[in-house]
Amino acid sequence: MNHILIIMAMEAEAKPIINHLDLNPLGKLDDNLQSLAFSGKINETRITLVINGKDKRFGVDSIGTVPASIATFSAIKRFNPDLVISAGTCGAFKNKGSKIGDVYLSTVFKNHDRRISIPEFDKYGIGNYQSANFEHLIDEIGLKKAVVSSGNSLDMCDTDMDIINENESVVKEMEAAGIAWVAEQFSTPFVALKSVTDLVDGELEAHEEFLINLEKASKALKEKVIAFLELLTKKDI
Ligand code: ADE
């Protein structure tokens, strides 16, 4: 594997990985985007990490599927990676056995907020995008595996919950399905690693629990992403 592209939404999630790998800033990914690229090597493999950047008007991290998709499009065009990884945080479910700081590897990608009740468009809405299969590494790294379900809201309405259940998903996040669609257009293999900040069916509101656990979950994410990269680049899978 010559080149791995990592797409991340939040600076706080990305910092531990950038620091650990001592990645160098390459500047803006594109003149018209706020996304920032960082570059380095692990073993003999080039690693490019892209943060989707701060929103031009609101100054906050550009979370959600649209900035993630556009950054991925731009980065695949520029770097032509062998593999794209979406690394970040997620909500999960205590009644499905999840704990704060668990890190999940994707098995497939779906949407839970694209409800289009017209024949065939219903399936298009859900997406059902393929994940590159690294399930043989989960025991060695200490990962769990799950269907990753994406939507553009941090909270969850009852309809989202029903579709997440229909999706047989454990992981609720805000970027992966958008990235998966772009990766599919380029036929570039794509996988996600997602670390749990909040339990959607727990006692606290998602936003409160998210902020409490962001640092802990980002550290856990870093450990697992580094272990994953080490294995991929050493064994040349
Ligand atoms: N990222 C972290 N927690 C999340 C949640 N509960 N929903 C969507 N994205 C998240």
pLDDT at 235: 58
From first to last of its 237 residues, the chain has per-residue pLDDT tens of 999 999 999 999 999 999 999 999 999 999 999 999 999 999 999 999 999 999 999 999 999 999 999 999 999 999 999 999 999 999 999 999 999 999 999 999 999 999 999 999 999 999 999 999 999 999 999 999 999 999 999 999 999 999 999 999 999 999 999 999 999 999 999 999 999 999 999 999 999 999 999 999 999 999 999 999 999 998 555
CB 173 near ligand 1, within 6 Å: yes
Q: Whose CA is nearest to atom 7 of ligand 1?
A: 154
Q: Whose CA is nearest to atom 5 of ligand 1?
A: 91
Q: Where are the alpha helices (DSSP H) in the chain?
A: 11-21, 65-79, 121-126, 138-141, 158-166, 176-186, 206-235
pLDDT at 61: 98
- Of 164, 220, 212, which is closest to residue 193 (Cα–Cα)? 220
- Of 71, 4, 46, 11, which is closest to residue 214 (Cα–Cα)? 11
Q: What is the DSSP string of 53-87?
A: -B-TTT-SB--SHHHHHHHHHHHHHHH--SEEEEE
pTM summary value: 0.97
Pocket test for ligand 1, best of 172, 179, 203, 216 (most atoms within 8 A of CB): 172
The residues carrying an active-site annotation are 13, 198
Q: Please, what CATH class does the domain formed by 3-232 belong to?
A: alpha beta
Domain residue extents for the chain: 3-232
pLDDT at 42: 96
CB 217 near ligand 1, within 6 Å: no
Pocket test for ligand 1, best of 210, 214, 221 (most atoms within 8 A of CB): 210
